[in-house]
Structure formats: C-alpha cells, structure tokens
Chain A
Amino acid sequence: MIRVRLSLFICLKFKNPMLKRIFRFYYDGFRKMTWGRKLWGIILLKLFIMFAILRLFFFPDLLKRDFNSDEERASHVLEQITNP
C-alpha cells in the first residue's frame, strides 16, 4: 500500500513524461523482481559492512585524517621515504 502511494506520489511529482517513464521503468523492475531480491539484500548488506563498518572504523585515509594540507602530507611522506 505504502509502495503504491509512493509510486503515485513520485509519478505526480515528475511532470516531465520522460522522467516519469524512466521512474516507472525502474520502479516496475524492482517491484516485479523475483530472484533478484535476495541479491539486493546481499548488495545492501555488503555495502553496509564496507562503508558503515570497515571504512568508518578500520580504514581511515591516513594522510587525509592526520594532515591538513598537501604540503604537510608531502613533507610527511618525504620524511618516511627518506627515513624508512
């Protein structure tokens, strides 16, 4: 029910018939999906683990995090590669 309302709402919002058709195309595609649902579940779970857990807690971009400017970064790396 909520889905149908959402679809109607968005269809009304898209005044441009082309955009409306594109939206309908994706919307129907997802709605009629059978075996693909499980895959979407996996994709979303995977993206969640990757970005919300791994990226956030385990994989900071060190140079971006620890330094404010490219000059500082360059100086740090120079230090590292000449004093390994």
Chain B
Amino acid sequence: MYWNKLPILKAMLESIDMSLVDWSRGQFALTAMFHWIFVPLTLGLSFIVAFMHTIYVRTGDEEWMRITKFWMKLFGINFAIGVATGIILEFEFGTNWSNYSWFVGDIFGAPLAIEGILAFFLESTFVAIMFFGWNKVSKRFHLTASWLTAFGASLSAVWILVANAWMQHPVGTAFNPDTARNEMTNFWDVIFSEVAVNKFLHTISSSFLLASVFVIGVSAWFLLRKREVLFAKRSTVIASVFGVIAAVSTIVTGDSSARIVAREQPMKFAAMEALYEGQTHAPLVAIGAMRTDTTNLSYPRENFIFKIEIPNALSYMVFLTPSGFIPGITDLVFGNEEQNYMSYEERIERGAVAIQTLKELKKAKERGDEIAYDALREKFYDPIWIDQYYQHFGYGYYKGRELKELIPNVKMNFYSFHVMVVLGTHFLIFTMLVLWLSLKNRWGKHKWLLWVALITIPMPWIASQAGWVLAELGRQPWVVYELMPTLTAVSRLKPVAVQITFWIFLVTFTALFIAEIKIMLSQIKKGPGGE
C-alpha cells in the first residue's frame, strides 16, 4: 500500500502539537463569536428602523420620527462598536490558517474583497446619510438611505455566508494540483448551492428575530417604568409583526437546514441528535441529558441519563416518511454496506492514496519527469478517480490516528441544536402572544409578561451562537469538508504566539462589549427624548 511508504508523514502527524490546533481554533472561535454579538443586531435592527422610517415618511407623524431616531441611535451604537471586528478573522486566516487560506484561495478571496468594498461604501455613504440626513436631504432620499443601509448590511453578509457554505459543502470548484488551490469552475454553483441559500435565509431570519426580541424587550422596560408609553407600544407592534414573520421563517429554514445537513453532513446530523446506531423509524429526542463519555464507541446506546422522544419524527423530518434510514455515528465510522455507507477505515486508505498521488506529482515536477507528472496530474481531472480517491482526501491524514478524532463533540452538538430549537419555539409563542396582545391594546397590562420580555432579550443571542456552534463544531475535524482537516489547515506557529493574541483579543473584545452595553444602557435610559 502507498501508506507503507509514508513513515515520515505518519511520524510527523503524530508529533503535531494538538495544543497549537486547539489554541488556533479557540482564538478563531473567540473572535468569530464576539463578532457575532454585533452582526445579527445590525442586520435585524436596520430593517426595523427602515420600516419605522417609512411609516414616518408616509404619515408625517412626529412621534414616528422620534421612534425612528431612537432605534436608529441604538443601531448606530451597535454598528460603530461592531464594525470591522470581522476583519480580525481575515487577519487570522493569513497568519494562523495560512495553508487553508491558500487552499481555498479564490473562493474566499473574491467574496471577502466584495464584502470589504461593499461595507466601505455602505458605511461612508448610506449610513452617513441616514444619521446626518435629517432636514438636510429630501425625506424620500433620506428614507432610501435607510433602506439601502438595511439591504446593504444583509448583502454584505451574503458573501461570508457563501464562503462558509462552500467550506461546509465544497461545490462549483476544482482542485488544481499545481497550485494547491481550489479554483472556481462555476460561480453560480458556489453562490446558489442549497447549503448557501439556506444558510443565508436561516441566518438572516434568525437575525431579524433577534432584533425584534430586542426591540420588544427594550420597549417593555419603558412600559414597566410607565415612560414613553406611546413610543413603547408602537415600537412593540412593529417589532412583534416583524418578529412573528421572522420566527416562522427561522423555524422553516431551520427545518430545511436540518434536512440538508442530514444529506450532506450525516456525521453532524447524527451528532446533533446523538444517534449512535442508525435506524429506520428513528425518533427525535425532544429534550434529554447526556452522559459524559459520548465518544466511547463501544457503548453506543448508553448515552442518555434521560430523554423524551417523539417516535418516528427524525426519519419523518428528513425523508417525510417514517421508514427512512438515518445513519448513526457507528454506521458512519464502521460502515454499513446494506445502506451504502463506506467505513472510515476505507475512506482513510483512499484518502492516503490521494495524498500520496499529490506528493508524487510534486516530486515528478521537481525532477522534471514530464511523463510521470502528466499521468499523475490527469488523475486530478478524472471524475472517476476524483470520486474514488480525491473525494476522501482529508481522511488520509487520519491514517494511524484514532478513529474518534473523526467524530465531532457529540454533547456540544446535541445541546447546541436543542437549545436553538427550544428557544426558537419560545420565540414563536412569545412574539405571537405579544402581537396578539398589542393588537387588542392589552400589551403592557400584565407586568409579568413585560418581565418575560426583558428576560428574553439575551436569549436570541444564545440561540444564534448555539447555531454557529452547531454549524462549526458539527463539521469537525473538517475546515473544508472531507478535504482539509484543522490539523493540516493550521500554520505551524509556536502555540505561545497564538496564546498571546488570544488574550489580547479577549481583553479588547471584553472592553468593546462593556462599552456597547454601557453606551446602549445610557442611551436607553435617556429615552427617545434625550440627546
């Protein structure tokens, strides 16, 4: 076998310091999660502000102007503090994940460049007009700027989500073995892949939901204090209409996300439901508590302390029929011939062949052996060889390592998925109730409900972060799905260098977060009348 010729590869793999990969991942997770505190509020609040602004322009009612100005101010605070925090992720790509950056080259480069340019124009033009434009430009032009800010923000989210979707499900590209880069073969396949479209819709609607809950909650504070009652009630109506629509759309797109995950990333799906053994008529665990050791493959069934299941629901969710077979973790790791799942052992062998072929190609090129080089190169463009070997490329790195390294953290996936779903259900019921009571002019009469609204404010952030935890931890160990694992993607730096920046980020971001909360609270306390 090829593998026998690779003792150096094996030795090197074993000697990789896992703490470097862990620190690099931790650093990336920290920056991404902090960045994601600001982004969804910007995405959602910009639309709510644009709606309020529209009502003001249409009715000419000064109260709507005050309402618009107040929420615009909170939008501004969040925007200013959050803006550019995402650029740090780009720094990290170049420094900490340089192999990965090179490998994905085109796919990431183009979307991020577009996003950068778009964000720049957005900030310098539309946002400026939105804030400075009162009584300076025509009402219609001003309103247009508010809408363009909202659309621009969502549009700039498109690209980064497309890039993420490609990493989860690499399509529309071909690997060039000379340059070691993936090159785009079909732009439309990349941006309109089912994963990308669904990811965008789920992210955007959950962000709209987050902003609605924020507006309802802050307004509830005014109602509890019996301040600015008209302002608070009107804000609540807008936010609850927006919220109900967003909640329904979040659940619908979440449901289709799950179906797509089941098809494209069966390991993530098995992990998020903690399904160890595949089955037809698979039940859905509604809630449950798991035991500690979840990666122990020899005790696949004993993983719950307790659980409440909905019979057949998992099979039904994926196949719309209870007889659909859902593979469990063991089916995927050890293979299941009957259901056509290749074992990881086999995939590792095939992946190692692909890696070895690439290595030999490089050597042939260096030797100037054109015949060998051409023959090896051809393989990377041969659909049958790609299907048989290259498709398993990333698994090759796990030769000689423990199989459990290929299993994501089941507990984290299970809990993050369930937290998201439980909270999603809470938001739907909550926003519907608020809307119904608002329409009957009874919102604000029950103090305890106002308290619920206040307590609910941070919950969509928890759900949203949980969503990303699921999306990103569920695909581990892959950075580019089944092609590049984290341990290959990472730059070989000294772990201490990564640790230093980790702490710098933690301090900087905590300071920014405190600033956000403080400035927001002080402006909320001043209310719509304050400057």
Contact = CB atoms under 8 A, between A and B. Distances in A.
Nearest to B179: A74
Contact of A81 (B83, B484, B500): B484
A37 to B, nearest CB: 11
B149 interface: no
Interface string A33-45: 0111011101100
Given A77-B103, A80-B488, A84-B13, A59 B95 contact: yes
B176 to A, nearest CB: 9
Interface string B64-87: 000000000100110011011101
A56 to B, nearest CB: 11
Interface in B91-136: 91-92, 94-95, 98-99, 101-103, 128-129, 131-132, 136
B261 interface: no
A65 B501 CA distance: 19
A63 B136 contact: no
Contacts of B362: 75, 78-79, 82
B84 A46 contact: yes
A34 B531 contact: yes
B487 interface: yes
Contacts of A29: 128, 131-132, 136
B91 A84 contact: no
Interface stretch (A2-10, A11-19, A47-55): A47-55
Interface residues of B, number: 55
Which secondary structure dominates where chain A touches chain B? helix
B104 to A, nearest CB: 11
Contacts, number: 119
B399 to A, nearest CB: 11
Contact of A59 (B9, B92, B356, B508): B92
B45 to A, nearest CB: 15
B243 to A, nearest CB: 27
Nearest to B530: A35
Contacts of B88: 50, 54
A64 B9 CA distance: 26
Interface of B: 8-9, 12-13, 16, 73, 76-77, 80-81, 83-85, 87-88, 91-92, 94-95, 98-99, 101-103, 128-129, 131-132, 136-137, 178-181, 355-356, 358-359, 362, 397, 484, 487-488, 491-492, 497, 500-501, 504, 508, 512, 515, 519, 523, 531
